[in-house]
Amino acid sequence: MLFSSASAFVEELSDSFMEMKAADDIWLIKFYAPWCRLCKQLDPVWHQIGSELKSLGSPVNVGKSDATINTGLAKEFRVRNYPAILMLKKDVKYNYSGPRTKEGILDFVDRVEGPLVRSLSSLQLFQHAMIQHNVLFVYVGATSSLKGNYTTAAEELIIHTYFFSAARDILPKAVSLPSLPAVVVFKDGTFFTYSEEQDGDLKLWINRERFPNYSKIDSYTLYAMGESGKLVVLVLVEEKNLCEQSLRYKGLLEKVAAGQRETLSRNFYFGFMEGNDYINGLVMGEVILPLLLVVNLSNDGYFLPTSTLKTERHLLDFLNGVLDGSIHVSLIRCRGLQQQLDLTMKSYLDCFQCHGGNGLIQRIRRLFYNVKVTLTPVFSQAPLLGCFLVGFPLTFVAIFCYLCCKARPMLINEDDTEEGIALLAPSLQHRKSPTDKKSD
Protein backbone atom coordinates (compact mmCIF):
# COMPACT_ATOMS: atom_id res chain seq x y z
CA MET A 1 0.00 0.00 0.00
CA LEU A 2 1.44 3.38 -1.03
CA PHE A 3 -0.23 5.45 1.66
CA SER A 4 -3.27 5.71 3.87
CA SER A 5 -5.22 8.93 4.15
CA ALA A 6 -4.13 11.17 7.03
CA SER A 7 -6.36 14.08 6.01
CA ALA A 8 -7.75 15.66 2.88
CA PHE A 9 -4.38 17.37 2.23
CA VAL A 10 -1.67 15.24 3.86
CA GLU A 11 -0.99 11.59 3.03
CA GLU A 12 0.46 9.03 5.45
CA LEU A 13 3.32 7.34 3.58
CA SER A 14 4.48 3.75 4.01
CA ASP A 15 7.68 1.87 3.16
CA SER A 16 6.36 1.12 -0.34
CA PHE A 17 6.28 4.81 -1.24
CA MET A 18 9.47 4.85 -3.36
CA GLU A 19 8.33 1.88 -5.44
CA MET A 20 4.80 3.13 -6.07
CA LYS A 21 5.27 6.88 -6.67
CA ALA A 22 5.27 8.31 -10.20
CA ALA A 23 8.60 9.45 -11.68
CA ASP A 24 7.50 13.07 -12.10
CA ASP A 25 5.87 13.42 -8.69
CA ILE A 26 7.10 16.18 -6.38
CA TRP A 27 6.69 15.44 -2.68
CA LEU A 28 7.12 17.42 0.52
CA ILE A 29 7.56 14.91 3.33
CA LYS A 30 7.76 15.18 7.10
CA PHE A 31 9.31 12.30 9.05
CA TYR A 32 8.16 12.15 12.67
CA ALA A 33 8.15 9.99 15.78
CA PRO A 34 5.02 9.60 17.93
CA TRP A 35 6.87 10.59 21.11
CA CYS A 36 8.52 13.71 19.58
CA ARG A 37 7.21 16.95 21.12
CA LEU A 38 8.42 19.13 18.24
CA CYS A 39 6.72 16.81 15.75
CA LYS A 40 3.41 17.26 17.54
CA GLN A 41 3.84 21.05 17.53
CA LEU A 42 4.53 20.99 13.78
CA ASP A 43 1.53 18.80 12.94
CA PRO A 44 -1.12 21.59 12.66
CA VAL A 45 1.31 23.71 10.62
CA TRP A 46 1.89 20.74 8.31
CA HIS A 47 -1.83 20.37 7.61
CA GLN A 48 -2.09 24.13 6.93
CA ILE A 49 0.74 23.78 4.40
CA GLY A 50 -1.02 20.87 2.72
CA SER A 51 -4.28 22.83 2.54
CA GLU A 52 -2.63 25.96 1.14
CA LEU A 53 -0.64 24.13 -1.54
CA LYS A 54 -3.80 22.28 -2.59
CA SER A 55 -5.83 25.49 -2.82
CA LEU A 56 -3.11 27.13 -4.95
CA GLY A 57 -3.12 24.23 -7.39
CA SER A 58 0.51 23.39 -6.63
CA PRO A 59 1.94 20.18 -8.13
CA VAL A 60 3.62 19.45 -4.79
CA ASN A 61 2.13 16.55 -2.83
CA VAL A 62 2.35 16.72 0.96
CA GLY A 63 2.96 13.61 3.03
CA LYS A 64 4.22 12.46 6.39
CA SER A 65 5.69 9.19 7.64
CA ASP A 66 6.19 7.63 11.06
CA ALA A 67 9.93 6.92 10.96
CA THR A 68 9.67 4.47 13.88
CA ILE A 69 7.37 2.22 11.81
CA ASN A 70 8.45 2.90 8.21
CA THR A 71 12.13 2.38 8.91
CA GLY A 72 12.93 1.47 5.31
CA LEU A 73 11.64 4.80 4.01
CA ALA A 74 13.42 6.70 6.79
CA LYS A 75 16.66 4.93 5.88
CA GLU A 76 16.16 5.78 2.19
CA PHE A 77 15.99 9.48 3.11
CA ARG A 78 18.75 9.18 5.75
CA VAL A 79 16.58 10.55 8.54
CA ARG A 80 18.60 11.27 11.69
CA ASN A 81 16.53 13.76 13.68
CA TYR A 82 12.85 14.53 14.18
CA PRO A 83 11.00 16.21 12.68
CA ALA A 84 12.89 15.87 9.39
CA ILE A 85 11.53 17.85 6.42
CA LEU A 86 12.55 16.93 2.86
CA MET A 87 11.46 17.41 -0.72
CA LEU A 88 11.71 14.83 -3.46
CA LYS A 89 11.86 16.11 -7.03
CA LYS A 90 12.87 13.84 -9.94
CA ASP A 91 14.49 11.45 -7.44
CA VAL A 92 16.67 14.27 -6.04
CA LYS A 93 16.31 14.75 -2.28
CA TYR A 94 16.44 18.23 -0.74
CA ASN A 95 16.77 18.67 3.03
CA TYR A 96 15.14 21.61 4.78
CA SER A 97 17.03 23.06 7.76
CA GLY A 98 15.20 26.36 8.28
CA PRO A 99 12.67 27.48 10.90
CA ARG A 100 9.67 25.19 11.40
CA THR A 101 7.17 27.86 10.37
CA LYS A 102 4.57 27.83 7.61
CA GLU A 103 6.20 30.79 5.87
CA GLY A 104 9.69 29.30 6.00
CA ILE A 105 8.61 25.88 4.71
CA LEU A 106 6.43 27.33 1.93
CA ASP A 107 9.34 29.50 0.79
CA PHE A 108 11.51 26.36 0.67
CA VAL A 109 8.83 24.60 -1.40
CA ASP A 110 8.64 27.51 -3.82
CA ARG A 111 12.42 27.50 -4.37
CA VAL A 112 12.77 23.77 -4.94
CA GLU A 113 9.57 23.25 -6.94
CA GLY A 114 10.43 25.93 -9.51
CA PRO A 115 13.34 26.18 -11.97
CA LEU A 116 16.87 26.29 -10.57
CA VAL A 117 17.59 29.62 -12.26
CA ARG A 118 14.62 31.93 -12.87
CA SER A 119 14.68 34.37 -15.74
CA LEU A 120 14.01 38.09 -15.16
CA SER A 121 12.70 39.22 -18.52
CA SER A 122 11.82 42.83 -17.66
CA LEU A 123 12.82 45.68 -15.38
CA GLN A 124 9.48 45.34 -13.59
CA LEU A 125 10.20 41.69 -12.75
CA PHE A 126 13.65 42.65 -11.52
CA GLN A 127 12.23 45.36 -9.26
CA HIS A 128 9.57 42.97 -7.96
CA ALA A 129 12.27 40.41 -7.13
CA MET A 130 14.25 43.10 -5.31
CA ILE A 131 11.21 43.86 -3.14
CA GLN A 132 10.55 40.18 -2.39
CA HIS A 133 14.10 39.15 -1.46
CA ASN A 134 16.62 40.65 0.95
CA VAL A 135 19.44 38.98 -1.00
CA LEU A 136 19.28 38.52 -4.78
CA PHE A 137 21.79 36.59 -6.91
CA VAL A 138 21.66 37.37 -10.64
CA TYR A 139 23.68 35.94 -13.52
CA VAL A 140 24.11 38.53 -16.30
CA GLY A 141 25.25 37.63 -19.80
CA ALA A 142 25.13 34.88 -22.40
CA THR A 143 25.88 31.16 -21.96
CA SER A 144 29.40 30.57 -20.64
CA SER A 145 31.44 28.40 -18.30
CA LEU A 146 30.60 30.87 -15.52
CA LYS A 147 26.90 30.18 -16.10
CA GLY A 148 27.61 26.47 -15.86
CA ASN A 149 29.30 27.00 -12.49
CA TYR A 150 26.39 29.21 -11.43
CA THR A 151 23.85 26.50 -12.30
CA THR A 152 25.92 23.86 -10.49
CA ALA A 153 25.97 26.04 -7.38
CA ALA A 154 22.20 26.51 -7.67
CA GLU A 155 21.65 22.74 -7.67
CA GLU A 156 23.11 22.51 -4.16
CA LEU A 157 22.19 25.89 -2.68
CA ILE A 158 18.61 26.21 -3.96
CA ILE A 159 17.49 24.95 -0.56
CA HIS A 160 18.85 28.20 0.91
CA THR A 161 18.32 30.98 -1.62
CA TYR A 162 16.90 31.92 -5.04
CA PHE A 163 18.90 32.18 -8.26
CA PHE A 164 18.05 34.49 -11.17
CA SER A 165 19.42 35.40 -14.60
CA ALA A 166 18.88 38.55 -16.69
CA ALA A 167 20.11 40.34 -19.77
CA ARG A 168 22.26 43.44 -19.25
CA ASP A 169 19.57 45.86 -20.44
CA ILE A 170 17.11 44.53 -17.84
CA LEU A 171 19.17 45.86 -14.93
CA PRO A 172 18.93 49.50 -13.81
CA LYS A 173 21.40 51.85 -15.50
CA ALA A 174 22.98 52.61 -12.12
CA VAL A 175 24.28 49.02 -11.98
CA SER A 176 27.72 49.19 -13.57
CA LEU A 177 29.45 45.93 -14.45
CA PRO A 178 33.15 45.85 -15.41
CA SER A 179 32.65 42.97 -17.86
CA LEU A 180 30.24 40.26 -18.95
CA PRO A 181 29.33 37.59 -18.08
CA ALA A 182 29.04 38.39 -14.39
CA VAL A 183 27.38 37.18 -11.19
CA VAL A 184 25.99 39.98 -9.04
CA VAL A 185 24.52 39.93 -5.54
CA PHE A 186 22.10 42.70 -4.54
CA LYS A 187 21.69 43.29 -0.80
CA ASP A 188 21.93 45.94 1.91
CA GLY A 189 20.85 48.61 -0.58
CA THR A 190 23.82 48.06 -2.88
CA PHE A 191 25.39 45.37 -5.11
CA PHE A 192 28.64 43.44 -5.42
CA THR A 193 30.13 41.60 -8.38
CA TYR A 194 31.78 38.21 -8.00
CA SER A 195 35.50 38.10 -8.79
CA GLU A 196 37.13 34.69 -9.04
CA GLU A 197 40.54 36.19 -8.29
CA GLN A 198 39.41 37.90 -5.08
CA ASP A 199 36.50 35.71 -3.96
CA GLY A 200 37.65 32.21 -4.90
CA ASP A 201 35.18 29.42 -5.58
CA LEU A 202 31.78 30.68 -6.81
CA LYS A 203 29.71 28.29 -4.68
CA LEU A 204 31.61 29.22 -1.53
CA TRP A 205 31.19 32.92 -2.33
CA ILE A 206 27.42 32.50 -2.79
CA ASN A 207 27.21 30.58 0.49
CA ARG A 208 29.07 33.40 2.26
CA GLU A 209 26.98 36.19 0.77
CA ARG A 210 23.48 34.69 1.04
CA PHE A 211 22.62 36.59 4.24
CA PRO A 212 22.14 40.34 4.78
CA ASN A 213 25.08 42.00 6.47
CA TYR A 214 22.88 43.02 9.43
CA SER A 215 19.57 41.36 10.32
CA LYS A 216 17.40 39.78 12.99
CA ILE A 217 18.75 36.28 13.61
CA ASP A 218 17.03 33.17 14.95
CA SER A 219 18.67 29.90 16.00
CA TYR A 220 18.24 28.30 12.56
CA THR A 221 19.75 31.30 10.77
CA LEU A 222 22.63 31.48 13.23
CA TYR A 223 23.47 27.83 12.64
CA ALA A 224 23.33 28.34 8.85
CA MET A 225 25.56 31.41 9.12
CA GLY A 226 28.17 29.22 10.77
CA GLU A 227 28.32 27.08 7.62
CA SER A 228 29.48 30.15 5.66
CA GLY A 229 32.76 30.25 7.58
CA LYS A 230 32.13 33.77 8.89
CA LEU A 231 32.01 34.85 12.53
CA VAL A 232 28.73 36.31 13.79
CA VAL A 233 28.71 39.51 15.85
CA LEU A 234 25.56 39.13 17.90
CA VAL A 235 23.59 41.27 20.33
CA LEU A 236 21.21 39.38 22.61
CA VAL A 237 18.24 41.53 23.62
CA GLU A 238 14.95 41.11 25.43
CA GLU A 239 11.98 39.76 23.46
CA LYS A 240 9.84 42.73 24.53
CA ASN A 241 10.39 46.15 26.13
CA LEU A 242 14.03 46.65 25.19
CA CYS A 243 16.09 48.45 27.80
CA GLU A 244 18.29 51.45 27.00
CA GLN A 245 21.43 49.31 26.89
CA SER A 246 19.85 46.91 24.37
CA LEU A 247 18.82 49.77 22.09
CA ARG A 248 22.30 51.28 22.31
CA TYR A 249 24.00 47.96 21.48
CA LYS A 250 21.68 47.38 18.51
CA GLY A 251 22.29 50.88 17.15
CA LEU A 252 26.05 50.61 17.64
CA LEU A 253 26.20 47.24 15.88
CA GLU A 254 24.07 48.36 12.94
CA LYS A 255 26.15 51.51 12.51
CA VAL A 256 29.45 49.60 12.46
CA ALA A 257 28.03 46.94 10.12
CA ALA A 258 27.00 49.60 7.59
CA GLY A 259 29.98 51.92 7.96
CA GLN A 260 32.70 49.27 7.98
CA ARG A 261 31.23 46.87 5.44
CA GLU A 262 34.21 47.03 3.08
CA THR A 263 36.66 45.99 5.82
CA LEU A 264 34.56 43.65 8.00
CA SER A 265 32.00 41.90 5.78
CA ARG A 266 34.49 39.31 4.54
CA ASN A 267 34.88 37.97 8.09
CA PHE A 268 31.72 38.93 9.99
CA TYR A 269 27.94 38.88 9.92
CA PHE A 270 26.08 41.25 12.23
CA GLY A 271 22.68 40.90 13.85
CA PHE A 272 20.54 40.72 16.97
CA MET A 273 18.70 37.82 18.59
CA GLU A 274 15.72 38.02 20.90
CA GLY A 275 16.08 35.88 24.01
CA ASN A 276 19.02 33.82 25.22
CA ASP A 277 17.92 30.16 25.03
CA TYR A 278 20.23 29.18 22.15
CA ILE A 279 23.28 30.97 23.55
CA ASN A 280 22.65 29.51 27.01
CA GLY A 281 23.29 26.09 25.49
CA LEU A 282 26.43 27.34 23.77
CA VAL A 283 28.00 28.91 26.88
CA MET A 284 26.47 26.27 29.20
CA GLY A 285 25.02 28.81 31.57
CA GLU A 286 22.44 31.56 31.98
CA VAL A 287 23.58 34.73 30.18
CA ILE A 288 22.32 38.13 31.30
CA LEU A 289 20.67 40.40 28.72
CA PRO A 290 21.69 42.49 26.93
CA LEU A 291 24.93 40.87 25.80
CA LEU A 292 27.25 41.47 22.86
CA LEU A 293 29.45 38.58 21.75
CA VAL A 294 31.14 37.09 18.70
CA VAL A 295 30.15 33.51 17.86
CA ASN A 296 32.25 31.03 15.87
CA LEU A 297 29.78 28.31 14.82
CA SER A 298 32.47 26.29 13.05
CA ASN A 299 33.84 25.17 16.44
CA ASP A 300 31.09 26.28 18.88
CA GLY A 301 33.39 28.95 20.26
CA TYR A 302 32.60 32.50 21.35
CA PHE A 303 34.37 35.73 22.31
CA LEU A 304 33.24 38.07 25.09
CA PRO A 305 34.46 41.62 25.72
CA THR A 306 35.73 42.19 29.26
CA SER A 307 34.37 45.74 29.45
CA THR A 308 31.37 47.68 28.18
CA LEU A 309 31.65 48.68 24.52
CA LYS A 310 30.55 52.32 24.49
CA THR A 311 31.81 53.65 21.16
CA GLU A 312 32.43 52.49 17.60
CA ARG A 313 36.16 52.52 18.28
CA HIS A 314 35.73 50.17 21.26
CA LEU A 315 33.72 47.75 19.12
CA LEU A 316 36.18 47.92 16.21
CA ASP A 317 39.11 47.26 18.56
CA PHE A 318 37.28 44.25 19.94
CA LEU A 319 36.53 42.84 16.46
CA ASN A 320 40.05 43.49 15.20
CA GLY A 321 41.39 41.77 18.29
CA VAL A 322 39.22 38.74 17.65
CA LEU A 323 40.69 38.48 14.14
CA ASP A 324 44.32 39.23 15.01
CA GLY A 325 45.50 39.93 18.55
CA SER A 326 49.09 40.47 17.47
CA ILE A 327 48.23 43.88 16.00
CA HIS A 328 47.27 45.34 19.35
CA VAL A 329 50.13 43.71 21.23
CA SER A 330 52.56 45.39 18.79
CA LEU A 331 50.89 48.76 19.37
CA ILE A 332 51.22 48.39 23.13
CA ARG A 333 54.94 47.73 22.79
CA CYS A 334 55.43 50.70 20.46
CA ARG A 335 53.82 53.08 22.94
CA GLY A 336 56.56 52.35 25.46
CA LEU A 337 54.26 51.36 28.32
CA GLN A 338 56.72 48.75 29.53
CA GLN A 339 55.82 49.07 33.22
CA GLN A 340 52.19 48.17 32.42
CA LEU A 341 52.91 45.72 29.61
CA ASP A 342 52.25 42.50 31.52
CA LEU A 343 48.95 43.73 32.97
CA THR A 344 47.76 45.19 29.66
CA MET A 345 48.67 42.09 27.66
CA LYS A 346 46.98 39.85 30.21
CA SER A 347 43.71 41.81 30.07
CA TYR A 348 44.00 41.98 26.28
CA LEU A 349 44.47 38.24 25.89
CA ASP A 350 41.57 37.64 28.27
CA CYS A 351 39.44 39.97 26.17
CA PHE A 352 40.13 38.16 22.92
CA GLN A 353 40.27 34.61 24.27
CA CYS A 354 38.00 32.13 22.51
CA HIS A 355 35.76 30.38 25.01
CA GLY A 356 33.86 27.15 24.47
CA GLY A 357 34.86 25.03 21.49
CA ASN A 358 34.13 21.48 20.42
CA GLY A 359 37.04 19.63 22.02
CA LEU A 360 36.49 16.36 23.86
CA ILE A 361 36.24 17.95 27.32
CA GLN A 362 33.82 20.60 26.06
CA ARG A 363 31.65 17.97 24.40
CA ILE A 364 31.46 15.99 27.64
CA ARG A 365 30.61 19.15 29.60
CA ARG A 366 27.95 20.09 27.03
CA LEU A 367 26.47 16.58 27.24
CA PHE A 368 26.13 16.85 31.02
CA TYR A 369 24.71 20.36 30.69
CA ASN A 370 22.08 19.21 28.18
CA VAL A 371 21.12 16.31 30.43
CA LYS A 372 20.80 18.71 33.35
CA VAL A 373 18.67 21.17 31.38
CA THR A 374 16.45 18.33 30.15
CA LEU A 375 15.95 16.67 33.54
CA THR A 376 15.54 19.78 35.71
CA PRO A 377 11.96 20.54 34.59
CA VAL A 378 11.14 16.81 34.82
CA PHE A 379 12.24 16.69 38.48
CA SER A 380 10.35 19.89 39.29
CA GLN A 381 7.09 18.72 37.69
CA ALA A 382 7.27 14.92 38.19
CA PRO A 383 9.91 13.93 40.78
CA LEU A 384 9.09 10.20 40.62
CA LEU A 385 9.50 10.13 36.85
CA GLY A 386 12.78 12.01 37.17
CA CYS A 387 14.11 9.53 39.72
CA PHE A 388 13.14 6.66 37.46
CA LEU A 389 14.82 8.20 34.40
CA VAL A 390 18.03 8.72 36.34
CA GLY A 391 17.90 5.65 38.57
CA PHE A 392 17.08 3.03 35.94
CA PRO A 393 20.20 3.49 33.74
CA LEU A 394 22.42 3.86 36.83
CA THR A 395 21.01 0.63 38.27
CA PHE A 396 21.59 -1.15 34.97
CA VAL A 397 25.21 0.06 34.81
CA ALA A 398 25.80 -0.97 38.45
CA ILE A 399 24.42 -4.49 37.83
CA PHE A 400 26.54 -4.83 34.70
CA CYS A 401 29.71 -3.79 36.57
CA TYR A 402 28.90 -6.17 39.43
CA LEU A 403 28.45 -9.12 37.06
CA CYS A 404 31.71 -8.29 35.28
CA CYS A 405 33.63 -8.17 38.57
CA LYS A 406 32.03 -11.40 39.78
CA ALA A 407 32.78 -13.25 36.56
CA ARG A 408 36.48 -12.35 36.56
CA PRO A 409 37.64 -14.44 39.57
CA MET A 410 35.54 -17.36 38.31
CA LEU A 411 37.48 -17.29 35.08
CA ILE A 412 40.73 -17.21 37.02
CA ASN A 413 39.69 -20.21 39.14
CA GLU A 414 38.80 -22.19 36.04
CA ASP A 415 42.20 -21.45 34.56
CA ASP A 416 43.89 -22.47 37.81
CA THR A 417 41.95 -25.74 37.84
CA GLU A 418 43.03 -26.56 34.32
CA GLU A 419 46.66 -25.85 35.21
CA GLY A 420 46.34 -28.11 38.30
CA ILE A 421 44.96 -30.96 36.26
CA ALA A 422 47.81 -30.58 33.79
CA LEU A 423 50.38 -30.75 36.62
CA LEU A 424 48.76 -33.76 38.21
CA ALA A 425 48.43 -35.67 34.96
CA PRO A 426 51.91 -37.33 35.10
CA SER A 427 51.38 -38.60 38.65
CA LEU A 428 47.94 -39.90 37.77
CA GLN A 429 49.43 -41.68 34.82
CA HIS A 430 52.13 -43.12 37.06
CA ARG A 431 49.58 -44.47 39.56
CA LYS A 432 47.50 -45.97 36.84
CA SER A 433 50.30 -48.11 35.43
CA PRO A 434 50.18 -51.07 37.96
CA THR A 435 46.44 -51.39 37.44
CA ASP A 436 46.91 -51.55 33.74
CA LYS A 437 49.51 -54.26 34.13
CA LYS A 438 47.25 -56.26 36.42
CA SER A 439 44.43 -56.04 34.01
CA ASP A 440 46.69 -57.35 31.28
Q: Point out the residues that are catalytic.
A: 36, 39
| 217 three-class SS | coil
CB 70 within 8 A of CB 13: yes
What is the C-alpha to C-alpha distance for residues 227 and 204, in angstroms, rounded to an integer? 10
Residue 346 Cα to chain centre, angstroms: 34
Phi, psi angles (nearest 5°) of residue 303: -120, 135
Residue 411 Cα to chain centre, angstroms: 49
423 to 132, 416, 418, 420, 429: CA distances (angstroms): 90, 11, 9, 5, 11
Q: How many CA atoms lie within 13 A of 183 on its CB side?
A: 24
Residue 112 Cα to chain centre, angstroms: 20
Sheet holding 26-32, edge to edge: 3-5, 11-13, 60-66, 26-32, 84-89, 92-96
Residues 6+ apart with CB under 8 A from 250: 235, 237, 242, 272
177: left (phi over 0), alpha (psi -120 to 50) or beta: beta
CB 283 within 8 A of CB 302: yes
CB 280 within 8 A of CB 286: yes
CB 61 within 8 A of CB 27: yes
Strand (E) positions, 190-287?
Answer: 190-193, 214-216, 231-237, 268-274
Which of 145, 160, 146 lies closest to 207, judged by CA? Answer: 160
Rounded to 10 degrees, the C-alpha dihedral 29/33/37/41 comes to 30
Which of 211, 205, 206, 204 lies closest to 225, judged by CA? Answer: 211
Residue type, position 406, single letter: K
